[in-house]
Chain A
Amino acid sequence: MSPIAFIAIIIGVPSLSLLAYVFIRGSVGLRRYILTRIVLTLPMVFILGSLVFLVMRVVPGDPVRSALGPKGTPEMIQHIRQELGLNDPMIVQYGRFLVQMFTLRFGNSLIGGHRPIIDEMSERFPATLELVTPASALALAIGVFGGALAASRRKNVTDYGFRIYSVIIYSLPIFWLGLMLQLLFGVRLKLLPISGRIDAVISTTLVHRTNIYTIDALISGNWPAFFSVLQHLVLPTITLGLILSGIFVRLTRINVIETLQADYIAAARARGIRERVLVYGHALKNAMIPVITLIGLQVAILLAGAVLTETVFSWPGMGSYLVERISGRDYTAVQSVITVFALLVALISLAVDVIYSLVDPRVRY
């Protein structure tokens, strides 16, 4: 089964069943809310896609010519232009682009072996997924608990410590952090590998099913591969996760502080509920609601960070794919990648809204 199909199933089945559940059990208000959110996502995708289209069309000169380089004869250029439909009027091109965007048939890459872009992406996307998931988990763990801890001890060493932590992390260029980690653990201490997803030798033993190497290794019981991938994952995950955690610490801290000043917290304290329960049980939960809506925005930062991290660690994901294609002037691929990113952002935004509606009872009822 192709990796794209696999991923589609992994993401699609739970989401659809969640949606179904919500629709069946939820109140009228909830259904209306979710429908509205879905409907509003379409314009966002539309706008982003159009922006991408416009931006790519502003290229001065001929993208095909620059892609083919000096080897390209005028006949070749014309031929490819015809193939890509670049000679058609803008409207037609735009329409075709929209269709492509929604059906995910992006055409072929302009350089290299002219492979279908969708195939190349189906190798790269799981790699990014494999990196981004543990990084987000790490960031959330540090961020949420750190933020709550800092908020509960105001004007105290812990509080200032976390504030300084989040400011420093924010100012830290992610690529520099990656480089420094490479230097320390890869070069000086020689503890961990600094590039690639898996040891080259071991990778020949790995059967690729989903292209998420950890899962593939687990499925086939290939322990050397599994550990190799884990080893390669450590540094990039720490890099990306650490940088993201700065934002989460800050967000959580601010929201928990504000929540702690709420009347119902004082009222609960007056009933004898202990401080620790107040902070972690009540304030944190309530503070998470605004944080959830903001997490959706953090996806943008996550993707940007992924691009840089993948470049530093030569991690073959969507981010490094984008950079490679730009240097190679493969505009079709670049356009496709950015479209995929836009789709991702829109979908996650929608997902966050749905989750938010489930969590906040004021919306539910």
Chain B
Amino acid sequence: MPDDILFSIRDLTVEYLTRAGSVKAVDDVNLNIRRGEILGLVGESGCGKSTLGKALMRLHTGPAQITAGELWFDGRDLMTLSDQEMPEVRGAEIGMVFQDPMTSLNPLQRILEHLTETIHAHEPEVSNSDARARAEELIERLGIRRERIMDYPHQMSGGMRQRVMISLALALKAKLVIADEPTTSLDVIVEAKFLDLLKELQQEFGLTILLITHNIGVVAEISNRVAVMYAAKMVEVGDVNDVFGQPKHPYTQGLLRSVPNIKLDSGELYKMAGAPPDLTHPPSGCRFHPRCPFVMDICGDEVPPLEPIEEGHLTACWLYSSVVKRPEKMHA
């Protein structure tokens, strides 16, 4: 695996096995996360991005299972790890920041205990006083006063709690931080501060961040690269300026046009036709084809592969595929 790639996700499929049949929340997805970058993962609700994020740490319980694929993290395939070995990776090498910091923190535990427990879970030999010192340093670095470490979660504000979450993810100097909708529950100002913080951390610690969100603006602001998901599949990946500047996949195009722009006159709000598909019975071929303004015959027959069109810019669309067999007439 090339050295600059921290995480290589190959052919990953995550299925929910229910009584009514199985649903693929993530279907045959390939993605590389490069060291030191902030990669944004965007898509509508239900497209599978959160499931993908959780899958990277094999965090699923219950009916969701990874049924295929490999997770090459820093030179080894996480899928080969046993149930006893996996907790060693979680928290220490890969960290996660959750959407709602209020419910993600144990209301019965002080902040200090959250941190020291995490440290002791991975480095049991660390003394209590050392662990406490580390914890205090950590939250101070993140902008929280030391004394607050004895607080309970309900005594802190939303923004502070989110910083605590980051500190938990960084407590053991994780290499990759997965942030699942981290700003959705924050107001705009706090959100801005939070994003600044993320950028600082990336620069100061060389942290790699996978930023999962449905908010394109957030992604545009701090990401280096972006990946777009639709209906459990990856449809476009590339440098953020390329993808947002010249989107290739019709879905990405529609997505960007839907973002309200202050320059638009009223009455010009764009809405994509149709609705995301029911994943228990997904459309044949390209999942977007029932809604695509440029649909061709082949789109309904065969699944387009994710291929590079230019250097570093990939997309899964028959419009650009070099493997297209019969360029059909286009439907407007």
Q: What is A's interface to B at a CB cutoff of 8 Å? A: 262-264, 266-274, 277, 282, 285-286, 289, 360-362, 365
Contacts and interface: CB of A to CB of B under 8 A. Distances in A.
A199 B62 CA distance: 56
Interface residues of B, number: 29
A263 B96 CA distance: 12
Interface in B142-162: 152, 154-155
B121 A285 contact: no
A272 B121 contact: yes
A270 B90 contact: yes
A272 B87 CA distance: 4
A107 B104 CA distance: 59
Contacts of B231: none
B103 A262 contact: yes
Contact of B98 (A263, A272, A285, A365): A263
A273 B171 CA distance: 13
A270 B96 contact: yes
29 contacts: A263-B98, A266-B59, A267-B96, A268-B117, A269-B59, A269-B90, A270-B57, A270-B98, A271-B91, A271-B95, A271-B121, A271-B168, A271-B171, A272-B87, A272-B91, A272-B122, A273-B87, A273-B91, A273-B117, A273-B121, A274-B87, A274-B121, A277-B121, A282-B106, A289-B108, A360-B108, A361-B107, A362-B154, A365-B155
Interface of B: 57, 59, 87-92, 95-96, 98, 100, 103-108, 117-118, 121-122, 152, 154-155, 165, 168-169, 171
Contact of B118 (A263, A271, A360): A271
A-B pairs, top 10 by smallest CB distance, nearest first, are A272-B91, A271-B91, A272-B90, A263-B103, A270-B96, A267-B104, A272-B87, A264-B106, A271-B118, A263-B104
Given A272-B87, A272-B118, A273-B117, A267 B107 contact: no
B117 A270 contact: no
Nearest to A274: B87
Contacts of B152: 361-362, 365
Tell which of A285, A360, A361 has the most Cβ of chain B within 10 Å. A361
Given A266-B59, A272-B121, A272-B122, A286 B107 contact: yes
A282 B152 CA distance: 15
Contacts of B169: 271
Contacts of A266: 59, 98, 104
Nearest to A270: B96
A259 to B, nearest CB: 10
Contacts of B95: 270-271
A285 B105 CA distance: 14
B108 to A, nearest CB: 6
A360 B108 CA distance: 7
A273 B57 CA distance: 13
A285 B91 contact: no
A362 B107 contact: yes
Contacts of B90: 269-272
Tell which of A263, A277, A285 has the most Cβ of chain B within 10 Å. A263
Contacts of B118: 271-273
B220 to A, nearest CB: 27
A289 B152 CA distance: 16
A18 B88 CA distance: 43
Contacts of A262: 103
Nearest to B86: A272
A156 to B, nearest CB: 13
A271 to B, nearest CB: 4
Nearest to A288: B108
